[in-house]
């Protein structure tokens, strides 16, 4: 029995890893790259800093997938309530919009280098990116493929955990990290040429557009 459960858990992990790679190169790519690119453009000047931002962002998403897996394996009856559109997803999307707005304003007004709260949140890397990764990983931003698959196939919290972890790792195996590392190399060149001020404004404007888009897409659920 234990051997069979172990085989089933590994099989689910392999399927979720494959699914994560596919989603990381397709549906997840525009959301994640579209969010990270303006951020690293306006705040990072080398590949290491870009890698750090992408890693923390991906860790936030990974945490959500693992939580989905554990919940699917331990309390499957509760999962549909979480995935169903409603007031909860409304507030999650609103929180993502507010966070994007905060990031946009700190970059636009060059406050990410200041001391105090702004420096702790933006420059010292990066509770905001971790939180944003978590918010983007859940509905309505993310698809329901992974949570649904975990709900159907998870037979225990351990099985669900392995499945969610494998899916999260799979989604990180995409061009997002390379993009996050490559963009600061370009902005670093602009900085040496005295044009980094304009690059920062462009990055902040990109984040502001994402924030406006998030608020525009809000739909107040019926009570």
- Report pLDDT for 59: 92
CB atoms near residue 111 (< 10 Å):
17
Per-residue model confidence (pLDDT) at position 115 = 47
What DSSP assignment string belongs to 177-202?
HHHHHHHHHHHHHHHHTT-HHHHHHH
What is the DSSP secondary-structure string of 126-157? Answer: -HHHHHHHHHHTSTTTS-SHHHHHHHHH--SH
The 10s digit of each residue's pLDDT in 68-90 is 888 888 877 776 666 665 555 67
pTM score of the predicted model:
0.80
pLDDT tens sequence for the chain (223 residues) = 566 667 777 888 888 888 888 888 887 888 788 888 888 887 777 888 888 889 989 998 899 888 888 888 887 777 666 666 555 567 777 777 888 888 888 777 765 554 455 555 445 446 778 888 888 787 555 566 666 777 677 778 888 888 889 988 988 888 888 888 888 877 766 665 567 677 777 888 888 888 888 778 776 655 4
């Amino acid at each position: 029995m234990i051997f069979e459960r172990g085989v089933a858990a590994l099989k689910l992990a392999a399927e979720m890893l494959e699914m994560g790679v596919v989603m990381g190169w397709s549906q997840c790519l525009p959301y994640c790259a579209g969010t990270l690119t303006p951020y690293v453009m306006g705040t990072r000047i080398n590949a290491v800093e870009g890698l750090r931002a992408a890693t923390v962002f991906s860790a936030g998403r990974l945490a959500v997938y693992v939580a989905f897996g554990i919940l699917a394996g331990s309390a499957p009856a509760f999962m549909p309530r979480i995935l169903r559109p409603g007031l909860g997803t409304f507030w999650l999307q609103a929180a993502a919009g507010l966070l994007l707005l905060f990031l946009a304003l700190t970059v636009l007004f060059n406050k990410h280098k200041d001391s105090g709260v702004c420096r702790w949140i933006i420059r010292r890397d990066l509770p905001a990116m971790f939180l944003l990764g978590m918010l983007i990983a859940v509905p309505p931003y993310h698809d329901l493929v992974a949570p649904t698959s975990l709900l159907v196939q998870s037979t225990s919290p351990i099985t669900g955990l392995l499945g969610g972890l494998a899916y999260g790792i799979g989604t990180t195996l995409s061009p997002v990290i390379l993009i996050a590392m490559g963009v600061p190399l370009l902005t670093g060149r602009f900085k040496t040429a005295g044009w980094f001020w304009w690059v920062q404004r462009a990055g902040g404007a990109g984040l502001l557009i994402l924030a406006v888009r998030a608020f525009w897409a809000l739909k107040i659920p019926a009570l």
